[in-house]
Amino acid sequence: MGVSIRYRLPAAAFGAVLAGVATVAPAPAAAARTAQTWQVAALPPLAPASRLVDVSATGRDDAWAVGLQGSTYGGPAPARPYALMHWDGGTWSQRSLPENIGTLYGVSARSATDAWTVGADGTQAAYAAHWNGTAWQGYRPLGGVPGGASVLFDVAATGGRPVFAGAESSHALVVEWDGQQFTRVPLPGSDAWYGVFYGAATAPDGAAFAVGAWSVDDAPYPEPMIAQRIGTTWRLATLPKITSARLLGVWAGSAGNAWAVGTIDYDSAPKPLILHWDGSSWRQVASPTPAGSLTAVAGDAAGNLWVSGNNPIPPWILYPGSLFLRYQAGQWSTVYGPKANNEDPALSAVANVPGTSGFWSVGAVYDPVGGYTAIIERIRG
């Protein structure tokens, strides 16, 4: 998933941050080669100012996408502030939760009868809901708001024990679900005063990763942060020294193969950030494009990756379409998807369709009426 949040999160400002969490604003659409493999999918009507933040699929005829809608600045509160969409193999349709919570930021589906979505409710408390194939059941994983606001930005439930990632009272948060209850994960060795996890991933062998950013000892610029579960033990990873950077998305093929993506210098001239885990260390990998923000990464069974992203806003030049990176046969390349509304969409997430080489991607595109509107793109496989 991809969200744009100020990193140094003092407790007094955290509630306001939760209320204003958003994907990176869609940028105007640099001349380059355009690939025509990605296509825009049809969506049912949503309220103005809608955007989709995450997507997950279990097969060709089952996928979920989540986000927010009706979030215009200064306008009336929307009747339903969250967006929950389901794909049945032919069309996307809106679905409802048992309660009218605030915003949904993450979704992860293991099967057609086992899916999770997460976000924050109207009281600024972390929220999660589980789908059993028939109905959604809501949970407050932290039991309320003890001493400060909380939010879950992502969930990973496709391998091993489900993992939930976010922040509580400006401190990074990882929560596990054992089938009966939620448990906060202690992270030994963390000396971060402020921090947040934006993305999470689990591998088929049970390994798990959470990525984000933290500010150490009240430093002026944040640094990337990764927590990883190998076996049953969580630890904070040792990363290359990179300042003024954040990690937004992560994908795990196994305990010995994971990729994390994000942005360097996110508040000035954003540059892509790619890290790879080989089972022993994390190393930075060169990006095929020098500018822009990377928001999410996903892989198929063959180990091919797609990364979603956003074209850089400055300078104000035209781009050929939505920004993707592709990793295939050991090589990275830049691929541009289609435009929408004659603009290049800002993408927040990407997900593989299991059993295929197809992928879904979601985000938003500039809309002169509502400011932005939700978009879903797909590549068949």
Reduced DSSP (H G I as helix, E B as strand, rest coil) percent helix, strand, coil of the chain, to 5: 5, 50, 50
Lowest mean pLDDT of 172-181, 211-220, 278-287, name the range.
Answer: 211-220
CA distances from 213 to 99, 106, 237, 275, 283 (A): 31, 17, 12, 14, 16
Mean pLDDT of 208-228: 88
Q: Which of 273, 188, 198, 193 is nearest to 236 (CA)?
A: 188
In a domain, 322, yes or no: yes
Confidence (pTM): 0.89
Q: What is the pLDDT of residues 249-290, one digit of tens each?
A: 999 999 999 999 999 986 678 999 999 999 999 999 999 999
Largest CA distance in the chain: 53
Number of folded domains that form the chain: 1
In a domain, 4, yes or no: no
In a domain, 144, yes or no: yes
In a domain, 2, yes or no: no
In a domain, 6, yes or no: no
In a domain, 109, yes or no: yes
In a domain, 1, yes or no: no
Q: The domain containing residue 325 runs over which residues?
A: 11-379
Provide the pLDDT for residue 261: 99
| Residue 260 contacts residue 278 (beta carbons within 8 Å) | no
- How many other C-beta atoms can be found within 10 angstroms of the C-beta atom of residue 315? 8
Q: Percent of the chain beyond pLDDT 90?
A: 66
Residue 112: CATH number of its domain: 2.130.10.10
∠ CA 307-41-365, nearest 5°, is: 65
In a domain, 5, yes or no: no
